[in-house]
Amino acid sequence: MLELRNVNLSFEKKRILNDLNMKFDDGKRYVVLGNNGTGKSTIANLIMGVEKYKPQRGSVYLNGKNITSLGVYERSKLGITVAFQESVRFEGITTFNYLTLGGKIKASYSDAKRALELAGLNSEYLKRRVDDSLSGGERKRIELASVLMLKMRYVILDEPDSGIDMMSLDTISRIIDTLNSKGTTVITITHREEIAKNSDYAYLICSGTVLKEGPPTDIAAYYKKMCDRCDHPNEIIESVKELEHRKGVRA
Amino acid sequence: MRIAPDYSKEFEKIVEAYEKSGGESSKLLDKRVASIIISGDKIIGLNSVEGVEIESGKIENGVWARVKVMKGKKVEMPIHLCTGFLGKEGEQRVNFNFIVEEGASVKFISHCSFPWSTHLVHKMLSTVHIGKNATMIYEDAHFHSESGGVTLISDTHATIENGGFYRNSFDLTKTRVGKLKVKVNVDLKENATSELNSKIRGRKDDDISIVESLGLNGERSHGIAKSTVIATDKTRARIINEAFGNAPYSRGHIECTEITKGNGVDVSTLPVLKVTNDLSELTHEASIGRVNSKQLNTLMAKGMTEEEATEFIIKGLLS
Ligand SMILES: Nc1ncnc2c1ncn2[C@@H]1O[C@H](COP(=O)(O)OP(=O)(O)O)[C@@H](O)[C@H]1O
Ligand SMILES: [Mg+2]
């Protein structure tokens, strides 16, 4: 189980995550829903242990063990990985080389091909380079294929559909289910409620904290109703009550 | 290929050096492949093919060679140039004159290998003349000794006539550099195109200096000069990329990427853009710094150590 307990994180006095508590049980599919700028990618970076994203207060636990002080590599060794929101370019590196991490992953051409096809790209791409000759969407698909090849226990997909067209919601569901079928916990971060449907549990993030959590369909419906137009982009909302009060609705 | 009998031992040794630098030695013995083999101050092997004229001779501490590709001749197999120095100390001078006549096309694969030298000064002077609509591709890979005792001073002047094409790639990534002073100067006429590309990896106290200069002197001429330098340990690197837009609709782009690793490095890049014709367009890109942290995090999240990830990224940049 992966857990965030009372996590607080600020960037130069700007509070980004506020007393954040989340739990991710083994073998489940989670969705983390929230508008842009609410701190979702910050959560991904923090769980992964990216240097600038160490919490000022609170901790990250893996199976009850505090892993807050561990770096990215060490956490990956514990089975945690992220397909980051932004798929960076790698000059001079072919997709095949990228997917097999230059030979570090013992995988055949057909393994790579299968992962790539699941992410919606044909095997022609294996020879292409993961540089700016590919679109952001193509690199994103390669990133998803890469995660499929890794065999990690916890996979965070940060906006897996960003840069990719609507058609591929199916693709994303297929990737989530393929990972999950092998027992991997999948945490999908998104601002699109359609994606929430293919999950077991949902968190709604608002101003860096969990505003509501529960069954994905309920959370998605609530999100659609309440967060469609965010009227407090720079303010911290502490509770559902406060939000509903502002919006003048009764739950 | 004629190998003078008294050089057969030396040839074997040169072949060993050649293979170290990634050369395919079978090509040196293939009759269909034009080649020049230089060892120290001698030419120990030379082969020409139809449509290619090679003349050569001796100079003090070295050799000269003139390679002429006849008008309209499309040389099928790349011409192989193999330059080696077997001794530990000394000076080697090589003067090359490349002439690619109108409409001809040729590719050179050059390997310079000095794997055993501790104090060698290698001086290379190259003049290149590419005729109208002719093409020349020159790929040069170097293999120096790990002692750092090789000094390479190379000066290339290329003139590209109307519609001609010239690509020059320089690769010194597999071994230490030693001391390097490379100058490439290209004069582009109307519609001529040139691409200069150097990739160098410095270690210990290697000292790298590169000046690449594109003279866009003809209408619609087009040039790119790109340098990638990986500077580790105490490497010193000075990179100057220049483009001069002197003719209407000429376009030039210069690009320098320097990756630093270790806090003893001393690197700089200086892009120089100068336009004397306001219809010319020049651009540049330059970056100096450690390996991109987003790239590192992406790879480390997949289970690579920082060291492995850095090496993976650098290999890509140099490939
Ligand atoms: N490295 C950083 N330095 C400073 N501010 C950051 C950094 N990363 C994220 N932020 C800020 O944190 C807030 C939340 O960003 P982010 O987590 O990317 O939101 P989301 O993924 O939900 O769109 C934004 O205001 C963003 O500018
Ligand atoms: Mg985000």
Which of B38, B32, B33 is closest to B3 using CA atoms?
Answer: B38
What tokens does B71 get?
């008008």
Instruction: Please report residues of A whose CB lies closer than 8 A to that of B292.
Output: 88
**Ligand 1 and A17: CB distance under 6 A:** no
- Ligand 1 center from residue B257 Cα (angstroms): 28
Distance, in Å, from the CA atom of B186 to the CA atom of B194, rounded to the nearest integer, reads 8
**Ligand 1 and A11: CB distance under 6 A:** yes
Instruction: Please report residues of B whose CB lies closer than 8 A to that of A96.
Output: none
Distance, in Å, from the CA atom of A118 to the CA atom of A195, rounded to the nearest integer, reads 17
**CA dist list (Å): B38 to A118, B42, B44, B65, B126:** 54, 6, 6, 10, 15
**CA dist list (Å): B25 to A43, B14, B30, B84, B138:** 56, 10, 9, 13, 18
Distance, in Å, from the CA atom of B36 to the CA atom of A123, rounded to the nearest integer, reads 42
Cβ–Cβ below 8 Å for A84 and B298: yes
Task: Say how many CB pairs under 8 Å bridge A and B.
Answer: 63
Q: Alpha-carbon torsion A84, A89, A95, A100, what sign?
A: negative
Atom of ligand 1 nearest to the CA of A158: 21
Instruction: Please report residues of B whose CB lies closer than 8 A to that of A72.
Output: 297, 300-301
Amino acid B228 reads T
CA–CA min distance B313, chain A (Å) = 7
What tokens does A154 get?
């916890």
Residues of chain B that touch chain A, judged by Cβ-Cβ distance less than 8 Å: 292-295, 297-306, 308, 312-313, 315-319
Cβ–Cβ below 8 Å for B303 and A146: no
User: Average pLDDT in the B249-274 region?
Assistant: 95
CATH assignment at residue A188: 3.40.50.300
CA–CA min distance B316, chain A (Å) = 4
Amino acid B157 reads H
Cβ–Cβ below 8 Å for B316 and A91: yes
Cβ–Cβ below 8 Å for A93 and B292: no
Residue nearest to atom 14 of ligand 1 (CA): A39
In this prediction, residue B163 carries a pLDDT of 98
User: What is chain B's Cα-based Rg?
Assistant: 20
pLDDT tier, B2 (very low <50, low <70, confident <90, very high otherwise): low
Distance, in Å, from the CA atom of B257 to the CA atom of B233, rounded to the nearest integer, reads 17
Instruction: Please report residues of B whose CB lies closer than 8 A to that of A146.
Output: 302
Write down the mean pLDDT value for chain A: 92
CA–CA min distance A210, chain B (Å) = 25
What tokens does A51 get?
């240097």
pLDDT tier, B4 (very low <50, low <70, confident <90, very high otherwise): low
User: Average pLDDT in the A183-193 region?
Assistant: 95
In this prediction, residue A251 carries a pLDDT of 45
**Ligand 1 and A81: CB distance under 6 A:** no
In this prediction, residue A13 carries a pLDDT of 87
In this prediction, residue A19 carries a pLDDT of 95
- List pLDDT tens digits, range B131-142: 999 999 999 999
**CA dist list (Å): A213 to A30, A32, A210, B46:** 11, 9, 7, 79
pLDDT at A165 exceeding the cut of 70: no
The count of domains in chain A is 1
pLDDT at A161 exceeding the cut of 90: no
User: Average pLDDT in the A20-33 region?
Assistant: 97
Amino acid B32 reads R
User: Average pLDDT in the B7-26 region?
Assistant: 84
- List pLDDT tens digits, range B175-198: 999 999 999 999 999 999 999 999
- List pLDDT tens digits, range B79-118: 999 999 999 999 999 999 999 999 999 999 999 999 999 9
pLDDT at A108 exceeding the cut of 70: yes
CA–CA min distance A112, chain B (Å) = 15
In this predicted model, which residue has the larger pLDDT, A239 or B125?
B125
Residue-range definition of the domain harbouring residue A107: 2-250
pLDDT at A137 exceeding the cut of 60: yes
pLDDT at B3 exceeding the cut of 80: no
The upper half-sphere exposure of residue A192, i.e. CA atoms within 13 Å in the direction of its Cβ, equals 14
User: Average pLDDT in the A69-88 region?
Assistant: 97
